């Protein structure tokens, strides 16, 4: 159980393109999802916390207008990288934890999206 699916797994596109990444919880509902960014040989860096039905909370230094997050349902959050540039090339990973349980549940991660901007 607790499967998180992320799509697409790999994106290569030209500079200036906007790219949308989907994160779905397949067998549970998640009121909160998280978006991370990971550079080679480094740990995960939290970008934003996505809350179902409300605005996302961004970490310091993360541009809200650059990285648009939408969490329209209890099983889907999307991250859109707007007008992407080569410096946005990275590995983007989402996570979610089951909602509505009597005890706290750990976060489960998707398999990530490798974004390459040419």
Partner 1 sequence: QKEVEQDPGPLSVPEGAIVSLNCTYSNSAFQYFMWYRQYSRKGPELLMYTYSSGNKEDGRFTAQVDKSSKYISLFIRDSQPSDSATYLCAMTRGSNYKLTFGKGTLLTVNP
Residue 95 sits in the site that holds partner 1 (CB under 8 A): yes
Q: Which of 1, 43, 54, 87 binds partner 1 (CB under 8 A)?
A: 43
Residue 25 exposed, middle or buried by CB count within 10 Å (0-12, 13-18, 19+): buried
CB of 65 to partner 1, least distance (A): 21
Q: Which of 42, 73, 83, 116 binds partner 1 (CB under 8 A)?
A: 42
Residue 78 sits in the site that holds partner 1 (CB under 8 A): no
């Amino acid at each position: 159980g607790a499967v998180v699916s992320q799509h697409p797994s790999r994106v290569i596109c030209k500079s200036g393109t906007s790219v949308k990444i989907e994160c779905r919880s397949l067998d549970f509902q998640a009121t909160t999802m998280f978006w991370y960014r990971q550079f080679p040989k480094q740990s995960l860096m939290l970008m934003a916390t996505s809350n179902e039905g409300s605005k996302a909370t961004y970490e310091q230094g993360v541009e809200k207008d650059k990285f648009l997050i939408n969490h329209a349902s209890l099983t889907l959050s999307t991250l859109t990288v707007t007008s992407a540039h080569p410096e946005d090339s990275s590995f983007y990973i989402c996570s979610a934890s089951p909602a509505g349980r009597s005890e706290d549940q750990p976060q489960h991660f998707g398999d990530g999206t490798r974004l390459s901007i040419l």
